[in-house]
Amino acid sequence: MILIDTHTHLYSEEFESDRTQMMERALAVGVEHFFVPAIDSSYFNGMQQIQQQYPQNVHLMMGLHPCYVKPETFEQELAFVEQELAKGTYVAVGEIGVDMYWDKSTLKIQQQAFQTQIQWAKKLGLPINIHCRDAFDAVFEVLDQEKSDNLFGIFHCFTGDFNQAERALNLNMKLGIGGVATFKNGKIDQYLYQIPLENIVLETDSPYLAPAPHRGKRNESSYVALVAQKLAAIYNLPVEEIAQQTTKNALNIFKL
């Protein structure tokens, strides 16, 4: 059974003491590919190192995370992103988007950075990986402006309602489903069965959002198997079928 973690921060400081063992656990349960989003330039070296260690398994995105869009540095950070994307070694532009949970005051420049990076993705033929927290209206406002056949990607850690899910799908997005699907109050498990499995990819967002029974603890890529098991229950399908379809979906998006 081959699994893919479409969103994992392998370079996180939280894995400092046991990164090799963490990777071995994930590979042991069948996770063959790890897609690693960027945050800002300060994490660049860590991303490069993990990719050099596991060149067959680890694939890097490049982008500026909305929480790191700061008035004094975002233009410089975007210039770094643009320069890196020009190298042609990245599989997606991400993670990009809008976050109104931590800081509402930067909304306008967050949307500006989001839109700029979407335009680069379209020009390069790359998928986007969207971060959206308490910000569906703001995210859709930008996506609607940029809607086109060459805009596609993943709504990472999707937590919206059924209507928002349909809206995302109509914009060529797949839904990134992770630990939230296993939470008692996660809500997405109540309608997910209505979304065709062709539109779903698996993720962990590790070290954050660990699925049950590890909720509240550090997440890791091996736990993507627990997300697959939850989806098997939601869709009433064998877990192997969940793995096969979501893996195919991810490989198609990232053109592997």
216: left (phi over 0), alpha (psi -120 to 50) or beta: left
Chain centroid to CA 49: 20
- Is residue 11 helix, strand or coil? coil
pLDDT at position 103 is 87
pLDDT at position 186 is 84
CA distances to 29, 137, 180, 209, 212 from 216, rounded to whole Å, are: 22, 28, 11, 7, 9
pLDDT beneath 70: ranges in the chain: none
- Residue 199 makes CB contacts below 8 A (sequence gap 6+) with 169, 174, 175, 249
pLDDT tens digits along 127-164? 999 999 999 999 999 999 999 999 999 999 999 999 99
- What percentage of the chain reaches a pLDDT higher than 90? 97
pLDDT at position 184 is 87
Q: Tokens for 218, please give them.
A: 């550090």
- According to DSSP, the β-strands at 128-133 and 200-202 are unpaired
Domains and CATH numbers, the chain: 3-253 (3.20.20.140)
pLDDT at position 9 is 98
pLDDT tens digits along 65-81? 999 999 999 999 999 99
- According to DSSP, the β-strands at 31-36 and 92-99 are unpaired
Chain centroid to CA 153: 9
Q: Specify the DSSP class assigned to residue 239.
A: H
Mean pLDDT across the chain: 97
Q: Specify the DSSP class assigned to residue 8.
A: B
